[in-house]
């Protein structure tokens, strides 16, 4: 994007072609399979207190995100759907916009005031940032880096059921990278903390933006080195070694890097 891009849109300056994602109470307003709305459909609901944020521009079409404090489902014949449900049920390109819009609104809503002096912030004129007019600090949208790791022992996969699982799936181990850590150090620490074993040969595979609420997931493989499985019961309810032909219900490769790591391991052994 160039510096002349407008990241904060005046609600009166909507374009006919804009595609607008509407959020309320951390959910998205949708109609059937349509995740976004045209300006003409929602213009009557916008007031000057709304501040649509630019998600992206593709083929000269602006994709915007706007938050409504009130539930306006009835007035536009919409229903509220969670991002999580959208991830599971829609194609990836639409989910990318919906997820990014949610992250941007989260950031915008939590940076109305300067963290240093407490003054109300203002949108930056040129960049996607909020600025404090008193101390000139800029606040950019942030991501939180996390690691997600598939630990293997020969053919076996270590899969765990997380205590806060939304799906009931068994999946890879994951956690936030702490200040001062490399991603590889975070992998070794998280595995040790969550299930009590040591790993080696930690290698990066691929990454994924994960808007629940604002993570960058870095996906790794690691080999089992030593120790017995002892789930910590705080984050991990149960953890076990599984053979490729006998896996519990887990995430699909099409939606998450965890699913892709599992699929890659199975491919290696011809499954
Ligand atoms: Zn300030």
Give mean pLDDT, residues 152-180: 94
Which residue(s) pair with 153 in the sheet?
A: 156
142 C-alpha vs ligand 1 centroid, how far in Å?
Answer: 18
Of the two residues 165 and 195, the one the predictor is more confident about is 195
* Structure token pair of residue 29: 């307003």
270 C-alpha vs ligand 1 centroid, how far in Å?
Answer: 58
pLDDT greater than 90 at residue 202: yes
| 210-254: pLDDT as tens digits | 998 899 999 999 999 999 999 999 999 999 999 999 999 998 888
113 C-alpha vs ligand 1 centroid, how far in Å?
Answer: 8
134 C-alpha vs ligand 1 centroid, how far in Å?
Answer: 5
110 C-alpha vs ligand 1 centroid, how far in Å?
Answer: 14
In the prediction, which pLDDT does 37 show?
95
H helical segments located in 110-208: 183-195
Q: What is the pTM of this model?
A: 0.87
Residue appearing with tokens 């019961």: 233
* Structure token pair of residue 115: 């963290």
């Amino acid at each position: 994007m160039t510096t002349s891009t407008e990241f904060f849109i005046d609600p009166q300056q909507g374009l006919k072609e804009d595609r607008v994602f509407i959020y309320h109470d951390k959910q998205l307003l949708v109609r059937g399979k349509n995740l976004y709305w045209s300006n003409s459909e929602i213009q009557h609901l916008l007031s000057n207190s709304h501040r649509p944020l630019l998600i992206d521009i593709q083929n000269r079409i602006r994709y915007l995100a706007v938050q409504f404090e009130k539930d306006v489902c009835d007035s536009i014949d919409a229903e509220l759907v969670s991002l999580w449900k959208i991830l599971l049920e829609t194609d990836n390109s639409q989910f990318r916009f919906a997820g990014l819009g949610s992250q941007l609104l989260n950031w915008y809503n939590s940076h109305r005031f300067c963290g240093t002096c407490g003054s109300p912030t203002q949108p930056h004129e040129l960049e996607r940032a909020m600025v404090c007019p008193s101390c000139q600090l800029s606040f950019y949208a942030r991501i939180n880096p996390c690691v997600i790791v598939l630990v293997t022992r020969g053919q076996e996969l270590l899969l765990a059921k997380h205590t806060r699982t939304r799906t009931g799936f068994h999946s890879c181990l994951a956690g936030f990278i702490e200040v001062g850590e490399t991603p590889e150090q975070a992998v070794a620490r998280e595995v040790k903390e969550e299930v009590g074993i040591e790993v080696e040969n930690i290698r990066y595979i691929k990454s994924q933006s994960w808007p629940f609420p604002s993570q960058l997931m870095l996906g790794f493989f690691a080999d089992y080195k030593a120790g017995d499985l002892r789930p910590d019961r705080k984050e991990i309810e149960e953890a076990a070694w599984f053979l490729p032909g006998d896996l519990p219900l887990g995430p699909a490769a099409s939606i998450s890097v965890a699913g892709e790591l599992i699929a890659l391991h199975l491919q290696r052994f011809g499954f």
